[in-house]
Amino acid sequence: MNRKATPLPEPIARLQRQLDQYRSTQSRRAKLPESLWQSAAELARQYGVHSVAHPLRLDYMTLKRRLNGLADSPRQSAEMAFVELVSPQVVRLEECVIEFESTKGGKMRIQWKAVAPPDWTSLLRAWKVTEG
C-alpha cells in the first residue's frame, strides 16, 4: 500500500525543528518544557491532535489532555469528585456494595444488607483519617 506523503505545514515543521534541537541536547527521558507543549497544543487546535502529535513524536493522549486544558499532572487527576445518585421513586435496597479507592492506593469496600444505608460522612471521615 503506497501512501503519498503530504507536506508538513510550516508551523508544524518549525516546531519539529525546535523539538529536534531540544531533544539533541537533553537525555532521552527529559521532560519537554511547558513552552513547547503550549506551542504543540496551539497547533493541535488548528491542525488536529494526530496531525501534530505524530510528526512531532508526542504522546497523543497527553497532547489531547493539554488541548482540553488539563495539564498532565497527577495532582489534577487526583481531585475528589462527588456523585449523587437520585432515584425518581423510593427504592428499597436489600443488599448493596460500594467500593472506594484513594489516590494513594487505599481501598474501602462497604457491603450491607439493610434497608437504611450507613452513615457515609462518618465512614469517609474515618477512612480519610486512616489514609492520612
Residue 20: phi and psi, rounded to 5, are -60, -40
Residues 60 and 112 in one domain: no
Reported pTM? 0.49
Assess whether 59 and 84 both reside in one domain: no
38-75 pLDDT, tens digit each: 999 999 999 999 999 999 999 999 999 888 875 544 44
Per-residue pLDDT of 79-113, as tens digits, reads 566 666 666 666 566 777 777 777 777 787 877 77
Q: Domain residues for 89?
A: 80-131
Question: Could you tell me if 17 and 66 lie in one domain?
Answer: yes
72, 88, 112 - which closes a domain? 72
